[in-house]
Amino acid sequence: MRQTLDFLLFDWLKAGDLTVRERFAEHSAETFSAVLDTCEKIAREKFAPFNRLADTQEPHFDGERVHLPQATHDATRAYAESGMLAAAQDYDVGGMQLPCVIEMAGNAFFSKASVAMGGYAMLTSGNASLLMAHGTPLQREVFAKNEFAGRWFGTMCLSEPQAGSSLSDIATRAELEDETDALGPRYRLTGNKMWISGGEHEITENIIHLVLAKVPGPDGKLIAGTKGISLFIVPKKLVNERAELTGERNDVSLAGLNHKLGYRGTTNCLLNFGEGRFTPGGRKGAVGYLVGKPGEGLRAMFHMMNEARIGVGLGAVMLGYAGYEASLDYAKQRPQGRPMTAAGKDASSRQRPIIEHADVRRMLLAQKSYVEGGLALELFCARLVDELATGDDKTQAQALLDVLIPIAKSWPSEWCLESNSLAIQVLGGYGYTRDFPVEQYWRDQRLNMIHEGTHGIQALDLLGRKVVQQGGASLAALAARVQQTIARAIQTDWAPQANQLAAALAQVGGATKKAWSTGEPEEALANAVPYLQAFGHTVLAWLWLDVALAVSGDSHFAHGKRAAARYFFAYELPKIAAWLDVVARREPLCREIQPEYF
């Protein structure tokens, strides 16, 4: 994986060139590589050996405290000490001022080694970065800085039992208590938050929850829709302006842990806010400090959305990678069956390793094309985040990110899950047991199509908003970029694939128009998921072609990349015809079938 990562980062994406920019001037390709080396080492030593343990010894709540394996404490501590929590932050807040693409690449090692143990740090970094963007100077100093230092960890509390995809329906209530508190206008919160990752543990002395809640209007009622949603800092233990614990426990309590299919090493919690279990200041109600302006909570929460969704996508890719490598190792060693030639008919001849069967190679190539293609996609998007922050053409970067982010989140969630399934298949019966790691990767992976916007919601975002916004400007920007690759490839041995990609791009454009030809969202969006799949496969075909053009030489590495690219064009891209067919004719079956008919 490291060789592919280095190739994609430095040869394909030219990440080393970022050091000419002022923000990254103190870095060099060597310092970038040193960061990757450190992450790889910590992941190998502190995370990977305990991934199974974190799964089998799942978090346990004894009614008072949550217990986690010591290995999770040790691993997260090592991560915090590496400085990666503040990797992309300014030097003056203790950061390393790394580009997003290097930060993401470094974090990829942890996702591959143990995605669940890595979860606490990823949440903390996202939480603190959000406070850097939207918090007051004191909120940054007290909360964000201590999170970056690893003294406290953070969470994101959006979902409620009755409100997941539809966040406008949240019911957590925030009542103003004191507008003049130095830590920010102080409110009292009441409500329940469901599915909160990292919501309770004792890894750090405090947990900083970022909570979405509604401030009631003058009539005392909650405002319907997203406009009434505000964002609050709700620490588990109260702190003062000098970031010292006051000794008082906030009114936030764990109602229970969810017992999950996978990702078990990260606690997942139902949290009750303001139920009166604790009474800070002598009364019930969770103390929360407003972040930003009232009513702008969702906007602030989604400020970090690009990074968060690339992070989920990259996590999905790395789980796929872990399964791919495990199944590749196995396939090289497992003797089973003989060639279909005359020599193979001799039952006393030696069996061949299963990697010599064409069908096993098909499964390995499929995995290789999904995980390496997925890695290219996520790094490309992370590089765009850097373009948006420090590049010359921010408009172009924004347009590309707009259409690519739903793909960055959803494509690996679906296809690296398929990859993990194929890894199990390569191992046969052994893959289905807990004696091998591949079943855990599949279970861990299954979450990714659900959280951070479900597959269905990502599809609605892509077809309902992103490709039609500003008269289709984002789609046009992507098409122009794809055409550049086609123009280069057409001059090479890759001309057949270039023509195939040009046809696919035209099909996507045509289907987009036909889907919207009646202007009825219910009609256009009924087949949004097949559209997302076709769009994603077209993007991946483009990236594979672009990567193939960057490969040179006669090494095994180069041949492997070319084979994976060819596989994608031969076996995967043709699938888009069926997906786009239902989109283009606005197939009504799914929206017309009556619930009673099931």
Whether residue 452 lies in the annotated active site: yes
Q: Which of 452, 523, 572, 587 is labelled catalytic? A: 452
Of 27 and 260, nearer to ligand FAD (C-beta) is 260
CB of 456 to ligand FAD, least distance (A): 3
Interface map 404-443 toward ligand FAD (x if CB under 6 A): ----------------------------------------
Reduced to 3 states, what is the DSSP secondary structure of residue 595? helix
Of 113 and 212, nearer to ligand FAD (C-beta) is 212
The two three-digit tokens of residue 363, written as one number: 């499964």
Name the residue among 211, 197, 376 with its Cα closest to residue 287.
211
H or E segment at 177?
strand 173-178
Q: Output the residue with the shortest Cβ distance to ligand FAD.
A: 164
| C-alpha to C-alpha distance for 114 and 176, rounded to whole angstroms | 41
Name the residue among 377, 467, 466 with its Cα closest to residue 413.
377
In the list 16, 216, 295, 456, the residue contacting ligand FAD (rule: CB under 6 A) is: 456
Tell me: does residue 59 bind ligand FAD (CB under 6 A).
Answer: no
CB of 70 to ligand FAD, least distance (A): 23
Residues 193-252 that bind ligand FAD (CB under 6 A): 195-197
Which range binds ligand FAD by CB under 6 A, 233-241, 429-437, 452-460, 580-588?
452-460
Residues 251-280 that bind ligand FAD (CB under 6 A): 260, 263, 268
Local structure of residue 275 (DSSP, 8 states): S
Of 35 and 286, nearer to ligand FAD (C-beta) is 286
Residue whose token pair is 């891209």: 573
Interface map 134-173 toward ligand FAD (x if CB under 6 A): ----------------------xxxx----xx--------
Tell me: does residue 320 bind ligand FAD (CB under 6 A).
Answer: no
| C-beta of residue 580 within 8 angstroms of C-beta of residue 531 | yes
Q: How many residues bind ligand FAD (CB under 6 A)?
A: 19
Of 7 and 442, nearer to ligand FAD (C-beta) is 442
Contacts by 252-261 with C-beta closer than 8 Å and gap 24+? Answer: 252/209, 252/278, 252/286, 253/277, 253/278, 254/61, 254/66, 254/199, 254/200, 255/192, 256/61, 257/59, 257/60, 257/61, 257/66, 257/200, 258/195, 259/58, 260/58, 260/447, 261/443, 261/446, 261/447
Dihedral over alpha carbons 141, 144, 149, 155 (to 10 degrees): 150
CB of 229 to ligand FAD, least distance (A): 13
In the list 457, 482, 540, 547, the residue contacting ligand FAD (rule: CB under 6 A) is: 457
Tell me: does residue 451 bind ligand FAD (CB under 6 A).
Answer: yes
Neighbours of 394 (CB within 10 A): 12
Number of H helices, E strands in the chain: 20, 12
Provide the terminal-to-terminal Cα distance of the chain, rounded to the nearest Å: 45
Active site residue ranges: 452
Binding residues for ligand FAD (CB under 6 A): 156-159, 164-165, 195-197, 260, 263, 268, 447, 450-451, 454, 456-457, 460
